[in-house]
Structures are given as structure tokens and as C-alpha cells.
Amino acid sequence: MQAPRGTFDVLPEDAERRQVVEGHVRRILGAAGYRRIETPTFEATELFSRGVGEATDIVRKEMYTFDDGGGRSVTLRPEGTAPVCRAYIEHGMHKLPQPVKLWYLGSFYRREAPQRGRYRQFWQVGAEVIGSAEAATDAELILLLAELLEALGVRETRLRLSSLGTPETRAEYREELKQYLRAHEGRLSGEVRERIDINPMRAFDSGDPGTREVMAGAPTLLARLSGEDAEHFAQVRAMLDDADLRYELDPTLVRGLDYYTRTVFEFTSDALGAQSGVGGGGRYDRLMEQLEGPPTPASGWAAGIERMLLATGELPTAPDLVDLYVAIADQSAARRAFELARDARRAGLGAQLELAGRSLKGQLKQAGRLRSRYVAIIGAESEISLKDMESGDQRKLHPAAVIPTILRGSRLS
Ligand code: HAM
């Protein structure tokens, strides 16, 4: 049997690399005052249809939706922002000092066509700042993601930045864009033409040559922003400039989720293939109200763990530390060997026990493979031979002296 299409196993060596990612996330976001939150893997379907938007690809065709057995429709979470907002409302977090700064790391599910960097179950790390409309919030979030990508050695990154303004400005702009698209209908791809009414903005995303040509001359939303939205965006840009973070203004940046207002951004990596988006996000000032919460401005991002790992070079992982390998020279010593390994672990040492019934020679070889610092050989007699694997020195010790000797790092010659 094989794992389902678009899913993968996290093998031990992969788990170690992920651990390194998580360590950087904790350090970088923790130092900036973000606290971890985890929401359930599935939620009421309505949370996403309302939050992410009925017209999005995610809601239209990518959700894993099922009946929970009691007539309620639930969905495996395709993203984390709507669930975090639901939790903010449900737990009355508006009563906490604002803004509330949160991060999460977990698995998400989208029924997309699988390819390199695009899976049906994938992991995201996300950060959300709820309760602040300040441009500084957006700038800080972007800088934190940039710092994370740099710490992980994600190569050839580029930052695309834009602003979507308010839903009202966008509605007016959408009408203008629809008219423009209709005027050039003949040169658009079938898919784009079909969706002029549902989601005209997606036309900017099309890879079709004819559509691209048409879109090159299309009106942009960035040029239609209201005074306040334009000012907010100018502030975000000024802060990124001050921090020397380079970005490309991209008025065609469309995100696959409907909740965005004002700032939107995406980091891509040229080291990846077609699926080049490593992380992205933006401001979502109206989402909380859509979910029947109090009006609360917010901003955030999420980055794909697999894509970050694909775009990174060698990621140094901490080697598993084995201080002691307990070898069994005589079966009568099995229990004492077990106890020695247990006591060593209690004393804070990394200790492994022979579990495969190897010959003594085979056990020493295995200890070498694990790069254990010491081997304790336990036989029929009560004394234990402790061997320093680096120097090759070996000495017989009273059982009670083995762990203190290792802890002191004493010479055995
Ligand atoms: P998103 O752009 O849909 O945003 O996803 C964020 C990241 O998740 C992407 O940049 C990509 O690295 C990764 N990702 C998405 N889909 C897949 C997939 N099928 N396979 C592998 N990786 C994938 C969001 O999800 C928003 N919730 C971000 C956000 C937070 N906006 C505001 N706050």
C-alpha cells in the first residue's frame, strides 16, 4: 500500500530538518512576543466558505469536506487564518491587551494537483497579529518572515508587495476591470473568459500568452487606492526601505484568498520550480466581522514548511547525541544492561541499548555507526568494561562508577 496521492511521510531525517525550522520559528517569533496557538484540524465548513470566500479556488474545489456523522458539514482546514480568528472571537481575546500576536505550525489540506512543492497535505508556519491597524504591524510581519527565510538559508528569495485597498475600492475597480476584460474577450483564454464575473482579478495570474498580453495593459488597483489606503501603503514601504529590505512593487499580485484588505505580499524563491511561493500574507481588516466578531483589524502570513525546505541548501541539523552504548556480552547481563541505560538517561546522558541480538563485535560496530562516545560492555561478571571510543582506552569499573566517570569525562587509561 502507498500513502494517498499528494501526501508524504515525514521520515526521521526529515523530522530532524523540520525540528530545525521549528527552532528558528520559536526563536524569531518568540523574541518578537508572538505566542503559539493551535486550532483543530477540522472546522465547520462555513468558517472557510465565509472566511476564505465562496469564489476562491480553495472553497470551490479544493476542500476536503465531509459529514461529521451528525449532519454537520466539516472541512479539513485549508488554511489557518480563519480558524485563528474563530478562536480569537470564541475565547474573547479582544479583552486582552491588543494587538494579540500569535503563531502556529501544523498541517493543512487542499485538493490540488500534486507536483513538486504542492501537496494535498502540507505544513505551514503562520503568524497573525490581531487588533492593530498600524502600518508598522505589516512591516514587522514582513521583516520577521524575511528573517526566518534568511535564518533557514532559503535561496534566491524575492518579495512582491502590493496593496488591495478596501473592499469598496476593490468593488469599483472590479467593475472597471470586468469592462476592460470584456472589451478584450476575444484574446483571453477560455478559463479566464468564463470567470470574468466571478473573479476577474485572477486574470493577472494566468499563464496564457494572449491573456498576459491583455493584462499588461489592464488598469491596476494600486493606481486606484483611496487617500488613506495609499498613505498606509506608503508607510509600510517607508519602513521596509528603512530596514533595507528589497521588494518589487507588483500591482498584479493576487492572493488565492478573499479576505485581504490593504497590504498583500508574497515571498518567492527562484530556487523552486513552478510552485515558487514560499510564504505570503497580508492585512485582513474585515475578516473578523465576516465571522461575526467585533470589528478588529489584523494582519499575518503563512509559509510552507516543505517549500522552505526545498528552497534551502544544507540545513545543519544537530547530530543525535549518543553518550553511551550499552553492549551485552552475555545474555545473563540483559537486565543489568537495561538498568544501566535507564540510569544513564536519568542522569541526562543519551544512552542506547543493544536491541538486535548482535554479536559483541557487531555491537561495537553499531556503537561506532552511532558515533557513541563510550561503550559499556556488560558480561557475566559484576564489573563493567567502559570503552572510550575516541581514544580506544578501556577500563573495568564498578557498576556504580560508570555513569559518574562518563559525566566527569575522566580518562580511562
Ligand atoms: P497561502 O498563500 O494560501 O496563504 O499559503 C501560504 C503558503 O503555504 C504558501 O506560500 C506555500 O508555501 C504554502 N502552501 C500553500 N498551498 C500549498 C500546497 N498545496 N502544498 C505545499 N505548500 C503549500 C495562506 O494560507 C494564508 N492563510 C496566509 C495568511 C496568514 N494571510 C494572512 N495571515
**Hey, whose CA ends up nearest to atom 13 of ligand 1?**
304
Is there an atom of ligand 1 within 6 Å of 269 CB? no
Q: What is the pLDDT of residue 154?
A: 95
Contact 142, 245 (CB under 8 A): yes
**Hey, whose CA ends up nearest to atom 20 of ligand 1?**
118
How far, in Å, from the CA of 134 to the mean position of ligand 1?
23
Is there an atom of ligand 1 within 6 Å of 119 CB? yes
Cα-Cα end-to-end distance for the chain: 54
Domain boundaries, the chain: 12-165+239-312, 167-220, 324-408
Q: What is the pLDDT of residue 232?
A: 97
For domain 12-165+239-312, the CATH superfamily is Bira Bifunctional Protein; Domain 2 (3.30.930.10)
Q: Does 12-165+239-312 match 324-408 in CATH topology? A: no
Q: Which residues of the chain have pLDDT under 50?
A: none
Quick one: which atom of ligand 1 is closest to the CA of 118? Answer: 20
Q: What is the pLDDT of residue 315?
A: 77
Q: What is the pLDDT of residue 254?
A: 78
* Residues 307-318: tens digit of each pLDDT: 999 999 877 676
Cα(332)–Cα(372) distance, integer angstroms: 24
Q: What is the pLDDT of residue 33?
A: 96
Q: What is the pLDDT of residue 319?
A: 64
Quick one: which atom of ligand 1 is closest to the CA of 120? Answer: 19
Identity of the amino acid at 401: A
Q: Which fold has domain 324-408?
A: Rossmann fold (3.40.50)
Identity of the amino acid at 248: E
Cα(231)–Cα(298) distance, integer angstroms: 17
pTM: 0.89
How far, in Å, from the CA of 280 to the mean position of ligand 1?
7
User: How far lies 287's CA from each of 17, 26, 91, 354, in Å?
Assistant: 34, 26, 16, 56
Q: What is the pLDDT of residue 318?
A: 65
Q: Which of 79, 111, 119 maximizes ligand 1 atoms within 8 Å of its Cβ, making it the mutation to test the pocket?
A: 79
